[in-house]
Amino acid sequence: MKIAVCIKQVVTRDWPLRVDETGQWVRDRDASFEMNEPDAYALEEALRLKEQHGGEVVVCSAGPSRVSQVLREALARGADRAIHVESDALATADTLTVGKVLADALRGEAPDLVLTGLQSDDQGFGQTGVVVAELLRIAHSTIIMEVQISGEGHIRVKRELESGWFQWVVIPRPALLTIQSGINQLRYATLRGIMAAKKKEVRKVEPEVTTGEFSQVVVDLYVPEKGKKTRFIEGSSTEAARELVRALREDASVF
C-alpha cells in the first residue's frame, strides 16, 4: 500500500511574529521554522499503517527551498521518499493554489491513501486536504481520530463531531483523510534515522506559479489593536443584571 502524506513548514509557534514591510505577510526572513503539528500526526499515522500493512510512505510539501528541512525530518522519522514542489511564490500561496500543485505532484504517484493534517498552524483554513481530494477525484473524510484498513478496498474511519460525538464511516480507496491532532503519540527521529535520511530520495518539482495567479491574495495584515474600556451600568439591581447579560451576549459575544 502506498501512502502519501502532505506536510507543511510553518513558523515556530513561540516565534515573535512581526508584520513585514509590505504589510501583507509576516517577517519570516530570520524566523525559525518547524513541521506543522497536525501534519506531524498525519505522518505518524501513515508510518503506523505502513508498519501494520506494509508498503511505502511518500511525503510531499510545497514551498521554497527551506521546506527541505521538514522533508528531511519526515524521512528521518521513517518516510521512504519525498517530493518537494519548489517555488518561492508558494510560501504565501492560497489554499486552492497549494492544493493544485500538491494534487499535480501526487497524481502520477497514484497513492492508495493520502493523509494531511486537519489544518495548518499559520493560516488554519482546513481546506487544503479537501481541495487535493477533489482535484484527484477520490473520496475524502475529515477530522479523523482512528483509521482501520480493510482488505476489501475500503477503509473504516472514526470522525470527531461536535459536543463529544463521534461517527464511524466506511469509504472506498483510494481516499484522502485529514487527521486530527492527538490521534497518536508522535515519534522522534533517531540518530540512525537521521543518517538514513541523507540517502533517501527527494524529488524536486518546479511548478509555474506566480503571485498574480493566486485565486486569493492577502491585502492587509496587521496586529489586533489592544484597548481597554470601562462601562458603568446604572439602575436597580434587576435592571443592571438584565443589561449586563444583554451586553455580554450581544456586545461582547461572550455567550
CA nearest to 133, candidates 172, 183, 182, 89: 172
CA nearest to 251, candidates 234, 226, 231, 227: 231
Mean residue pLDDT across the chain: 91
71-96 mean pLDDT: 94
pLDDT of residue 143: 95
Task: Kindly report, residue by residue over 84-139, the tens digit of the pLDDT.
Answer: 999 988 988 889 999 999 999 999 999 999 999 999 988 888 999 999 999 999 99
Q: How far is CA 60 from CA 24, 43, 64, 104, 106, in A?
A: 26, 11, 13, 11, 8
pLDDT of residue 3: 97
pLDDT for residue 250 is more than 80: yes
Task: Kindly report, residue by residue over 215-224, the tens digit of the pLDDT.
Answer: 788 888 888 7
Tell me how crowded residue 129 is: count the other CB atoms within 10 A of its CB.
Answer: 28
Amino acid, res. 134: E
Q: Is the peptide bond before 207 cis (omega within 30 degrees of 0)?
A: no
pLDDT of residue 91: 86
Amino acid, res. 67: V
27-39 mean pLDDT: 89
Task: Kindly report, residue by residue over 171-217, the tens digit of the pLDDT.
Answer: 999 999 999 999 999 998 999 999 999 999 999 998 877 767 787 88
pLDDT of residue 166: 95
Domain ranges of the chain: 2-213
pLDDT of residue 193: 94
2-213, what's its fold? Rossmann fold (3.40.50)
pLDDT of residue 155: 95
CA–CA dist 196, 28 (Å, integer): 30
pLDDT of residue 10: 93
Task: Kindly report, residue by residue over 149-161, the tens digit of the pLDDT.
Answer: 977 889 999 999 9
In this prediction the pTM is: 0.84
